[in-house]
Amino acid sequence: MKRRQFTQAAAGLAAATTLAPFGIVRAQSRSLKVGVLLPRSGVQAGIGQDCHRGVQVATGILKDLGLPGLEIMNGDTESNVDVARSRAERLISEGAQLLVGAFDSGQTTAIAQVAEQRGIPLVINIAAAPPITEQGYKFVFRNFPTAPMILGDAFANQLEVFSASGAAPKTAVFMHVNDTFGVAMQKGFTGVMSKFTMPYKVVDTIAYDPAARDLSVEVAKAKATGAQALILVSRLNDAILHTRELVKQRWSPMAILSMGPGWYEDQYLKTLGKLGDGPISFVPWYDPNKKLAKQLEAAHRKAFPEINLNTNHIYTFEALLVAADAFKRAGSADPKALADAIRATDIKDNVSTGPGIKFDAKGQNDKLKNSAIQNRGGKLVVVAPKAASNAKPELPIKPYDKR
């Protein structure tokens, strides 16, 4: 090789070497690595797997909205707080640039601690315990209502349901799971209720283990009060146990009012058939009249025709929407830049009930509204608030022995 040819070749090699790292950076910046932590096994497996469906339908919709791609890194919390913490650590070590999760408040609390310590943004999909966004965290954001927000809207929507149906119970029993979420709801129940003029008096409060396999004693105790309504904060498995016990013990309250998950879950509806009709859940939901909600519903129906769109899908989808929107505005996967972009989020074209997605100084979307949904023939209809509804409420519910 002549000297001039060697010099030109060396210069070309040097140029290629210099450009290569920047080429790699550009390729990496095309997508954001998102670690999604959900209880895909263990006692909350059904709900965790349901949340994952929201992840599966998100990709196409985010692309249609002109948002950048997300590289999903899945982590199973196994319905365990300690596992949730270790999985969060592992995902970050494996390159996750943002975390999403984790449905359960206890598991989410552990993940939030890790995210804050490691300086990695966490966008909470579902978790209602108030303390999570009361720690002064800079990297934790929640597009989901707190327990007091859920309770406040639950009482307001109950009054609307009672007025619209022309039927209201005079007595009620409050039953709740004794996990982080259930205890938070129980602590706020009486205080929030005192702000409303409710037609009923709570005659007893009963706590139980969400992993219990037999609730016959608890249901018998509630039945013995003679209460007209059963108000519950539960999970999927115990919601099914409750219903079976109600049928077995021949007790048909005029109203079953849920302030948490379980009663609207697809598995609940399919497992119980006609016996699953009637309960009204006062929960974070979606506005069926919104454009993006209709788009998500159509995409979900196409992907999972046998499964109703619900809270798990909606808020998991919106967590990814927040991540993709922030990544686009930040133009970088740098944790601080992402956190700053999330803090400045202002999404008006969204799915959930309320004016949109915007975070306060604590990282909480405090403008969210909840809905009242009723089980009807294996489907779910929105009965309150009126502005975000597509059906009228039916009370009293039909007795179990007449179905």
pLDDT digits (tens, 9 = 90+) for 36-73: 999 999 988 888 999 999 999 998 999 999 999 999 99
The 8-class DSSP code of residue 132 comes to: G
Q: Can you give the pLDDT at residue 147?
A: 85
- pLDDT of residue 22 exceeding 80: no
Q: By C-alpha distance, which of 166, 172, 362 is closest to 259?
A: 172
pTM summary value: 0.81
Q: Can you give the pLDDT at residue 17?
A: 37
Q: Go through the chain and tell me how many residues it has.
A: 403
Provide Rg for the chain, Cα atoms: 24
What spatial distance separates the first Cα and last Cα of the chain, rounded to whole Å? 92
Q: Can you give the pLDDT at residue 16?
A: 38
Q: Can you give the pLDDT at residue 30?
A: 79
Q: How confident is the model at residue 343 (pLDDT cuts 50, 70, 90)?
A: very high
Q: How confident is the model at residue 233 (pLDDT cuts 50, 70, 90)?
A: very high
Which phi-psi region, left, alpha or beta, contains residue 232 (left: φ > 0; alpha: ψ -120 to 50)? beta
How many C-beta atoms surround the C-beta of residue 349 within 10 A? 13
- What is the residue-wise DSSP string for 178-202? -SHHHHHHHHHHHHHHTTS--S-EE
